[in-house]
Amino acid sequence: MRLRVVPTVSLLLGTCLVALLAYGVLAKSTSKSIDNGIGAGRPMLAPGFSLPPLKPPIPLAASDGVRKFTAAAEDGTVNLTELRGTPIVLNIWASWCDPCQKEAPTLRRGWASARNAGVLFLGLDIQDTPSDAQAFIEGFRLTYPSVRDKGRDVISRYGATGIPETYFISRPGTVVAHVPGVITAGQLARGVDAARRGVAVRL
């Protein structure tokens, strides 16, 4: 009996060790420089990305920000630097994320009031299928654009550890505010104001 128990215990210990190592790698790969900079009142440069746009299942709302996005997407990818000069609300989401579903109506209403002020809402869909993502957009009637990342490399550079998370980016391309988890209407309004003014705030 003892000869059977020892290998089992060894296997369990080995599994735990692998899990701990994986957690450590994940923790180390997630940057905290953005939150640290915001906390110190120093806006940090938003990590760049070049990602394909999601094909919108419903028409995008007309705005200066959407026109800039559409022009940037003509070559099949959107580079964040192409959107410089426009304040951005970058929302990280996925169709399978229940909290993302909870905050979607808040984002829809916030976009309706902010788009005419020159602010662009931009979704960053991760670890999702295009069809599920498009069904989510259509179901919640989201008329702002989204890009798609098959993995989570981009959000790791932003310091995101889960979804949803929302980052507010100023005209020069610096992150001035960050909300992890489901965003409230008040946080969204204050974040939009911070992005427009280019001032780092803690929400």
Task: Give me the residue spans of the domains in the chain.
Answer: 1-30, 33-197
> Which region, left, alpha or beta, applies to residue 57 given φ > 0 means left and ψ of -120 to 50 means alpha?
alpha
How many other CB atoms are there within 10 angstroms of residue 108's CB atom?
15
Give 55's contacts (C-beta < 8 A, 6+ positions apart): 130, 134
Q: Identify whether the C-beta of residue 105 lies closer than 8 Å to the C-beta of residue 140.
A: yes
Predicted local confidence at residue 3, as pLDDT:
43
Of 20 and 174, the one with more pLDDT = 174
The beta strand positions in 18-114, using DSSP E, are 44-45, 50-51, 78-79, 88-93
Residues 37-74: tens digit of each pLDDT: 898 988 889 999 999 999 999 999 999 999 999 999 99
Residues 136-195: tens digit of each pLDDT: 999 999 999 999 999 888 999 999 989 999 999 999 999 999 999 999 999 999 999 999
Sign for the CA dihedral angle at 42, 203, 156, 103 comes to negative
Q: Is the pLDDT of residue 18 over 60?
A: no
Under CATH, to which class is 33-197 assigned? alpha beta
CA distances from 48 to 17, 42, 64, 75, 106 (A): 34, 18, 21, 17, 26
Predicted local confidence at residue 31, as pLDDT:
62
Predicted local confidence at residue 129, as pLDDT:
95
Q: Identify whether the C-beta of residue 155 lies closer than 8 Å to the C-beta of residue 92.
A: yes
* Encoded amino acid at 12, one letter: L
The beta strand positions in the chain, using DSSP E, are 44-45, 50-51, 78-79, 88-93, 120-126, 146-149, 165-169, 174-180
> Cα separation of 30 and 122, whole Å?
22
Residues 111-152: tens digit of each pLDDT: 999 999 999 999 999 999 999 999 999 999 999 999 999 988
Predicted local confidence at residue 151, as pLDDT:
87
